[in-house]
């Protein structure tokens, strides 16, 4: 009886641990058919990461803006902003400290699609309690149509999640796009 209980405990613990793995595998189904064709001259895909370098007192933000130029080439603008201290007496102004513009090839496009898949899956399973010192990750696609008689902005989708640990996928994506 005792051996049976111990065996059941080990099996149930193993099953529970297998279900709570934090590793997310890349999407295999149909990934070769996915593309960023929906991004046009009027559409911008913004990938944002906020890192609380100063804990609950502040941090810095990084963005990757993906848009299509007039010649149909996808382009990524990588922006890094200065650190902002939320509790400092002097109010700091948000400034761009690093600005890189890169052309995106098919390999880069696939990396972006994998990142979107991962951030979506992470947002669905993420169950951390909100805190002032959380890493925050966002993906947002917006279309902006500007005509003389009309200024129309439309959000296609927004995905976000927060985590106490730094999620390495944003930095991996930046490095892949720079290659």
Radius of gyration of the chain (CA): 21
Q: What is the pLDDT of residue 129?
A: 61
What pLDDT is recorded for position 150? 80
- What pLDDT shows up at residue 64? 94
Q: In angstroms, rounded to a whole number, what is the distance separating the alpha carbons of residues 123 and 161?
A: 5
User: Between vectors from CA 135 to CA 131 and to CA 141, what angle results, nearest 5°?
Assistant: 115
**CA 144 to CA 46: how far, in whole Å?**
13
Q: Coil, strand, or helix at residue 27?
A: coil
Task: Tell me what pLDDT residue 22 has.
Answer: 45
Where is 121: in which H helix or E strand?
Answer: helix 106-125
Query: Tokens 């080439």 sit at which residue?
Result: 73
Q: Pick out the chain residues at pLDDT < 50.
A: 15-27, 29-30
For 60-91, write each residue's pLDDT tens digit.
889 999 998 876 889 999 998 887 776 666 66
| Three-state SS at 30 | coil
Query: What is the pLDDT, as a whole number, of residue 24?
Result: 43
Helix (H) or strand (E) holding 14: helix 2-19
CA distance 141 to 150: 20
Quick check: helix, strand or coil at residue 128?
coil
120 C-beta neighbours (distance < 10 Å), count:
15
pLDDT of residue 135: 86
Picking from 63, 61, 59, the residue whose alpha carbon sits closest to that of residue 78 is: 63
The pLDDT score that the predictor gives to residue 131 is 65
């Amino acid at each position: 009886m005792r051996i049976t209980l111990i065996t059941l405990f080990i099996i149930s613990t193993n099953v529970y641990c297998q279900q709570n793995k934090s590793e997310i595998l890349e999407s295999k189904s149909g990934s070769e058919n996915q593309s960023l064709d929906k991004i046009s001259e009027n559409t911008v895909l913004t990938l944002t990461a906020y890192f609380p370098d100063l804990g609950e007192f502040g941090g810095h933000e990084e963005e990757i803006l993906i848009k299509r130029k007039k010649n149909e080439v996808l382009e990524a603008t990588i922006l890094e902003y200065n650190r902002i201290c939320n509790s400092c007496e002097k109010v700091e102004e948000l400034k761009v400290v690093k600005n890189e513009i890169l052309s995106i090839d098919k390999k880069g496009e696939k990396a972006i699609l994998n990142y979107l898949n991962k951030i979506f899956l992470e947002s669905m399973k993420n169950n951390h309690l909100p805190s002032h010192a959380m890493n925050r990750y966002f993906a947002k696609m917006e279309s902006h149509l500007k005509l003389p008689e009309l200024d129309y902005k439309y959000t296609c989708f927004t995905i976000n999640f927060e985590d106490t640990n730094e999620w390495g996928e944003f930095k991996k994506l930046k490095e892949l796009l720079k290659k």
